[in-house]
A = this chain, B = another copy of it.
């Protein structure tokens, strides 16, 4: 492997000049630049990442901490990861993939050993133990999620509270007055993943504001979980005409159950889902949905990290506005039915 010295000799310049051609940090005459670039190309020179990191204290790598268990929402995780890697590359950075199960130790390991310039974390919990650790790192971090005390740490996420309000106001606008929420699994609430709470709070607030009768219930995965969740909802509120589903996994078995029990969508019951676009459209009935903009969130997380890295200002809490797309699962209820 050729080094910067080899290039310098081949081009008849000093190593520092080669370095400056590479970094553009000082003016170089067109002629010199051309000679250097020719030498670089000819020798197939690639700067040694470690040497660079050592000399410059920058690695051009960011850590992405992902929940690699299978129990969580796999497609959404993949979309975040894709977006983060793609965005990082567009800023000339690479991505080191860490798993959440390494916990605080993993963060400290990569940060203290200077493997990364910044960290992006997903699947944050309400009182996530990693947050105090992040504060102690010299590298900045960006969270995808919104834990309780995130003072001084940048957070990016969908505005789940607004998403709930949007779902309800869409249904209310179609004349629905009795609405059930099929929530995430109890495990999600237990883990204190904050989006569940934020959605629920928004849902309850909006119910009051819009004067709706609503009922909410978590939903275990699988056909049995869906069955019992629906039974609970129906038991607690008569004449439900619409469901909001904030549980991607439950979506499919729920539609099956509704079908099996003869409740047609949207004739007998309307449904608004919160899930990625492609999941909504892949269902037997294309679902009116609020998108989880994983791509936008991931990209924004990287942008935020980059701003932090070069000392520019950032908004420390960035909640993306939800957008509801109408498809085939919601129906207008005529006044006589209300």
Q: Which residues of A are in contact with B by a Cβ distance under 8 Å? A: 1, 44, 46-54, 59, 61, 64, 68-70, 74-75, 77-79, 81-82, 85-86, 89, 94-99, 102, 108-110, 112-115, 138, 222-223, 252, 256, 278, 282, 284
Contacts and interface: CB of A to CB of B under 8 A. Distances in A.
Given A54-B54, A113-B47, A96 B95 contact: yes
A215 B44 CA distance: 52
A97 B99 contact: no
B68 A82 contact: yes
B68 A74 contact: no
A98 B113 contact: no
Contacts of A1: 112, 114, 138
11 contacts: A49-B53, A50-B59, A54-B54, A68-B81, A70-B79, A74-B78, A89-B99, A94-B96, A94-B98, A94-B115, A223-B284
Contact of A113 (B46, B75, B99, B113): B46
A257 B248 CA distance: 22
A55 to B, nearest CB: 8
Given A51-B54, A97-B97, 18 more contacts: A46-B109, A48-B113, A49-B59, A49-B114, A50-B52, A50-B53, A50-B59, A61-B115, A68-B78, A68-B85, A68-B86, A70-B75, A70-B79, A77-B78, A82-B99, A85-B98, A222-B282, A256-B284
Contact of A74 (B75, B97, B223): B75
A138 B110 CA distance: 25
Given A44-B112, A51-B50, A96-B96, A70 B78 contact: yes
Nearest to A44: B112
Nearest to A76: B74
A49 B278 contact: no
Nearest to A252: B252
